[in-house]
Amino acid sequence: MKLDVDVLRYLSKDDFRVLTAVEMGMRNHEIVPSDLIDRIASLKHGGTYKVLKNLLKHKLLHHDSSKYDGFRLTYLGYDFLAIKTMVNRGVFTAVGRQIGVGKESDIFEVACEDGTVMAMKLHRLGRTSFRAVKSKRDYLRHRSSYNWLYLSRLAALKEFAFMKALEEHGFPVPNAVDCNRHCVVMSLIQGYPLVQVKQLQNPETVFDTIIGLVVRLAEHGLIHCDFNEFNIMIDDDEKVTMIDFPQMVSVSHRNAQMYFDRDIECIFKFFGKRFNMSFEEQSDDIDGSEVDEDESGRPSFSSITKTAGFLDKELAASGFTRKDQDDIEKFIEGNAGDDVSDDEHESGLCQTNIKGFDSLHLDQKEPTSSCNEEEQGYENQHSLEAGLTGNPE
């Protein structure tokens, strides 16, 4: 998928005001009634309907008149809102090629004025279930669209908070740059996902490093929960970087042991198959034993000295709360087995687009400070909308 940001350059202040009004209306409406959008946006010179038509033409909104006349954001509309905020904040100035399609995200290169290239991850949590729900039109319709916005935002916030905390504790993760809505900007890892690597100079060393990371995470009170060849990047010097954190849980989670063993098993299986390393079959851990590994060489969860509480203490500081964690966990567990197949996963990994970067010199009359203006406006609109709909949020 190419994120066509050309349109972004031509959108006016009014366009963004109306797009933001739809986003706000979606806090309590699956489809936001047109007259409510008009009231939230309260354009100085009117003309909301014309603006809505323009946004619709660019596929930033979806029109629905089945029950009443209204609109909702599309993925693209939400992407544009986040990208605009990032550009206004001076985080990046251009969007380039897509470098990854994950299960629940799209990843693009972005560049700053000075040419530094970074990675932008747009979360699409609920994409798979959203697709399924779409085919059963009347089933959970309300929840599906609300969930997508809310959960994608939560996933981004969680990923950002974890990446920052892990980096501070010396884990090899990308540098977390900024986060807004469902979008996380991080440093670009110069390497390949392990799944694409056919040969290694030192497979044993890489293997030990990776297993060591799973153990060290647990010592810090965390389990990755999706620790596999898709989420481990490796560079030409065989340096390992781990990515993709929205599903991480605490070692005090009720299924912690299972998640830990599963992460370990994924690595053992992959290295066994890809690099012909031989391991014993997994054996049951001996309860209460002091050994660090079971008979098959797999680290045993019970023998690791774990510091629980990492989640609560370190992450609360980033604005990611216990309730956020519970909400996202409920969703992820509820969707277990919803994953796309490995084929689908893999085929998306190398999508490129030759066009290179699209520079985003948005409305020059709107300097960086307009970010505050925008956020200020957002606050005002928020209270206005709460007043209009009686939503206590």
Catalytic residues: 226
**Residue 204 zone, left/alpha/beta (φ > 0; ψ -120 to 50; rest):** alpha
Give the per-residue contact string, 63-102, with Mg ion (x = CB under 5 A; - = no).
---------------------------------------x
Bridging pattern class, strands 117-123 and 105-111: antiparallel
Torsion sign (Cα): 73, 324, 230, 177 = positive
- For the sheet containing 61-64, what is the strand order? 32-33, 70-73, 61-64
Shortest reach from residue 245's CB to Mg ion, in Å = 10
- Choose which of 186, 249, 332, 362 interacts with ligand ADP (CB under 6 A): 186
Residues 122-151 that bind ligand ADP (CB under 6 A): none
Q: Which of 14, 38, 79, 244 forms a contact with ligand ADP (CB under 6 A)? A: 244
* Close Cβ partners of 144 (under 8 Å, ≥ 6 residues apart): 126, 129, 130, 133, 134
Tell me how far apart the alpha carbons of residues 249 and 34 are, in angstroms, rounded to a whole number.
41
Q: Kindly provide the residue ranges of all beta strands, DSSP E only, lying in 41-154, ordered along the sequence.
A: 61-64, 70-73, 94-101, 105-111, 117-123
Size of the site for ligand ADP (CB under 6 A): 19
- 153 touches 182 (CB < 8 A): yes
When the beta carbons of 316 and 349 are compared against ligand ADP, the nearer one is 349
Does residue 105 belong to the site contacting ligand ADP (CB under 6 A)?
yes
Shortest distance in whole angstroms from residue 87 CB to ligand ADP? 19
Task: Please tell me whether residue 176 binds ligand ADP under the rule CB under 6 A.
Answer: no
Q: How far is the CB of 29 from ligand ADP (least distance, A)?
A: 28
Q: Which residue is nearest to ligand ADP (CB)?
A: 102
Which of 147, 231, 247, 381 is close enough to bind Mg ion by CB under 5 A?
Answer: 231
Instruction: Produce one character per residue of 150-177: b if its CB has 16 or more CB atoms within 10 Å, e if not.
Output: bbbbbbbbbbbbbbbbbbeeebbbbebb
Residue 174, interface with Mg ion (CB under 5 A)?
no
Can you tell me whether residue 267 is helix, strand or coil?
Answer: helix
According to the binding rule CB under 5 A, does residue 246 interact with Mg ion? no
In the list Mg ion, ligand ADP, none, the entry touching 121 (Cβ below 5 to 8 angstroms by class) is ligand ADP
Closest approach, Cβ 234 to Mg ion, in A, equals 14
101 within 8 A of 349, measured Cβ to Cβ? yes
Residue 99 interacting entry, from Mg ion, ligand ADP, none, C-beta within 5 to 8 Å by type:
ligand ADP
Counting residues that bind Mg ion (by CB under 5 A) gives: 4
Which of 37, 156, 243, 266 is close enough to bind ligand ADP by CB under 6 A? 243
Residue 81 CB, shortest distance to ligand ADP, in Å, is: 20
Distance separating alpha carbons of residues 216 and 117, to the nearest angstrom: 30
Q: Does 107 bind ligand ADP (CB under 6 A)?
A: yes
Alpha helices in 300-369 (DSSP H): 310-316, 322-334, 342-347
Nearest to 271 by CA among 332, 214, 190, 341: 214
Considering the complex, state which of residue 244 and residue 329 has its C-beta at the smaller distance from ligand ADP: 244
What's the length of the chain? 393
Binding site for ligand ADP (CB under 6 A): 99-100, 102-105, 107, 119, 121, 174, 186, 188-189, 193, 230-231, 243-244, 349
List of residues contacting Mg ion (CB under 5 A): 102, 230-231, 244
